[in-house]
Amino acid sequence: MLRNVVVIGSGPAGLTAALYAARANLNPLVIEGLEAGGQLMLTTLVENWPGYRDGIMGPDLMGEMRAQAERFGAEILRGHVTAVDMQSAPFKVTTSDASYETRTLVIATGASARLLGIPSERSLLGHGVSTCATCDGYFFRGKPIAVVGGGDTAMEEAIFLTRFASSVTVIHRRDTLRASKVMQVKAFANPKITFEWNAEVEDMTDVSRGEVDGVSIRNLVTGERKVIPVEGIFVAIGHTPNTSLFKGQLEMDANGYLITHSGSKTSIPGVFACGDVQDHVYRQAVTAAGSGCMAAIDAEKYLEGVPQHLGKTTETVNDELRTMK
């Protein structure tokens, strides 16, 4: 069966694209991906989603978006895309269980938490090193922990973790936070949170025991080194776009973000991108949802203008052309 629209990803961008495509009677298929629901699934209260004056829990918001897309006929499939072939239309999307052919493709694969990239961090992941406060904060009741990063996510994690931890040390490379003012005010007012400014993480210990007992930092201004005894280290230094599937097929920038133009168009006609996979500037749930809407409308317009031969093989088209003569 040849699909009109396949959406890869199920965060705010993917589900909004699915909602609009479904309401345009395009019967979209959404392939959820490993991190189904996207980054909001790992957050707690979302206070900047318009329409909810008291905020809404991230997982609840995603549950609503999903139900809304399904209500209008979007088909949502649990699965993880392992390969995408966009060399010729129809495009072919392969998961571990099946493969799908589609006239248009909406890429909403988002971005995943980035790690610092030091060897000890990788081996201590799950044993004190974490990228998800809401998942792992529970394990650090009454214990000192550190949060690495200075953006909104880092502040949100730090504030959330004060529910469990005895103390939270924020380690940040600069002398000011990148986080929004409202998050900064909350973090500075929290008596459990202290800051290590201009500090870079050099190492995490203790790899031989398989448990975190400290983080070694170096002050980038004074050069001074010290070890902070902590039992947990939460890394919140930003995200990397999930674009490895599209390498060599779609135009991307130096950091791997898909490049879009005139709305949500990628370098291949019929392939559209939305959400964090193509946005390293705004990265908000509401901007992701907005761009998901754009991708669905762009896909709909593309399908209206698409010649009938798309979706047929070259041989069939040539045969048809021959008979027409």
Partner 1 sequence: MASDKVTILTDGTFEQTINGEKPVLVDFWAEWCGPCRRLAPTVEELANDYNGRVVVAKMNVDENPSTPMRFSIRGIPTLLLFKSGQLVEQVVGLADKDSLKKLIDKHVA
> x/- string (CB under 8 A) for partner 1, residues 30-49?
----xxxx---xx-------
**Of the candidate residues 72, 139, 195, 197, the single one contacting partner 1 (CB under 8 A):** 139
Cα–Cα dist 87/45, whole Å = 42
Write the Ramachandran bin of 150: left for phi over 0, alpha for psi from -120 to 50, otherwise beta: alpha
Cβ-based burial of 117 (10 A; exposed 0-12, middle 13-18, buried ≥19): exposed
Cα–Cα dist 239/217, whole Å = 22
Count, residues near partner 1 per rule CB under 8 A = 29
DSSP 68-114: HHHHTT-EEE---EEEEE-SSSSEEEEESS-EEEEEEEEE---EEEP
Is 127 one of the binding residues for partner 1 (CB under 8 A)? yes
Is 76 one of the binding residues for partner 1 (CB under 8 A)? no
Site for partner 1 in 141-200 (CB under 8 A): none
**Of the candidate residues 232, 270, 275, 292, the single one contacting partner 1 (CB under 8 A):** 232
Number of residues that this document lists for the chain = 325
**Of the candidate residues 25, 48, 82, 313, the single one contacting partner 1 (CB under 8 A):** 82
| 149 or 232: CB nearest partner 1 | 232
Q: Alpha carbon of 134 to those of 58, 139, 264, 288, 297: distances in Å?
A: 11, 10, 32, 22, 35
Is 134 one of the binding residues for partner 1 (CB under 8 A)? yes
Cβ atoms of 272 and 26 closer than 8 Å: no
The nearest distance, CB 48 to partner 1, in angstroms, is: 20
| 159 or 296: CB nearest partner 1 | 159
Cα–Cα dist 12/29, whole Å = 15
**Of the candidate residues 20, 91, 100, 140, the single one contacting partner 1 (CB under 8 A):** 140
Is 135 one of the binding residues for partner 1 (CB under 8 A)? yes
The nearest distance, CB 83 to partner 1, in angstroms, is: 12
Cα–Cα dist 148/131, whole Å = 10
| 12 or 270: CB nearest partner 1 | 12
| 207 or 317: CB nearest partner 1 | 207
Is 274 catalytic? The answer is: no
Cα–Cα dist 182/179, whole Å = 8
Q: Which among 60, 97, 135, 253 is annotated as catalytic?
A: 135
Is 60 one of the binding residues for partner 1 (CB under 8 A)? no
55 Cβ neighbours under 8 A, 6+ residues apart: 45, 46, 47, 49
Catalytic residues: 132, 135-136
What is the contact surface with partner 1 in residues (CB under 8 A)? 34-37, 41-42, 59, 78, 80, 82, 96, 125-130, 132, 134-136, 138-140, 210-212, 231-232
